[in-house]
Amino acid sequence: MWYNNRNAAIVRLDRLTQRRKFGKGAISILRIWYNHTMCGENLTTKTVLQDLPGPLLAWYRANARDLPWRRTTDPYQIWVSEIMLQQTRVAAVLGYYARFLETFPTVEALAAAPEERLMKLWEGLGYYSRARNLQKAARIVAEQGGRFPDTYQDLLALPGVGDYTASAIASAAFGRREAAVDGNVLRVVMRLTDCRDDIADPKVKKAVRAQIQAVMPEAEADIRVFNQATMELGATVCAPNGPPRCLECPAMAFCKGRLRGTAEDLPVKGAKKPRRVEEKTVFLLVRDGKIALRKRPGTGLLAGLWEFPNVEGALDEAAAGAAVSVWGLEPRRWESRLTAKHIFTHVEWHMTGYTLEVAGDGPADFVWADAGALSDRAVPSAFGRYYTEAAARLKEE
């Protein structure tokens, strides 16, 4: 049958379209069926990916970025880097990584650290549950005499360590043949195999992991860098934004996406749900040269971090004054109004902020902080514009 040969199928479908032997709707259905069938074939055979390891490793050793966590096989340092890199750009992580290891050079030091100090050090990096899980895991490892788990399954048992992170640590730190599949790797594989399956489907990710696992090299020195090499290719050449730089790619000669002109359209990913928008009014309440802070609840978004008092909704000045009065404070002088927006993964905060001098004690959970106390506390970057304003206001005192 003509559909058993993929190249012939492409030509045949194009000819049928040109001759109008099928309507556009029928052709679309055929293409959907064809893509699904052929993706299944690509992800269960080694026909393309088996050619990848040699050229990829040679390219990586000649072109890899010099990143500090690539200069070590210390599982603690690799673990810290992998947690920091979750949903965070390399450029943003570099400074935090250096400061973190300087402050907590060993897993025992991290395990013993006061939470407030840890969260302050993490301030601005986002996804703060990562820091708490780091410390939980550090305490588990410290209880085992500082010896890190060295297998995928044992690493997976640590708080905050998922499939990708366990594989990345197992391979880079211990030379285990475990394929680490992140967004970069998915993109590389889908383009190499010209596959249009939805990468948001867990079954697709599982199939890609099995495929990469099957072609991983055997030598320990190669295993340690293979996952890094695949991710590096996806981050720097087979990149997500703009056209892939195919002429710089070590897989150029056998990449089906390049040869068929489909690489720029891949990978396919289902539409995300739109983020929920939440309106908030934030207050910089100044009293006797100090500013009000309060701690967020211990669970949920930004759990346990410090924030400026705020309420739901975008309030005008009259309504904002009434809200302040509910806290048992008397507005004395309104100084400024600031708007800001912060985007989380699933929600957007649209904020209206007021700076005002007040009198009164306020609720028991308010802490009145001077400049030093403000700088010692972990205030999330969601309040970044208000933090800058607060620090400047206290400097005037």
Which residues are catalytic, by number? 82
Give residue 69's identity as a one-letter amino acid code.
W
Give residue 145's identity as a one-letter amino acid code.
G
CB-based contacts of 143: which residues, under 8 Å, 6+ apart?
none
Contact 141, 79 (CB under 8 A): no
- Rounded Cα gap, residues 88 and 91, in angstroms: 9
With helix as H, strand as E and coil as C, how does 49-96 read? Answer: HHHCHHHHHHHHHHHCCCCHHHHCCCHHHHHHHHHHCCCCCHHHHHHH
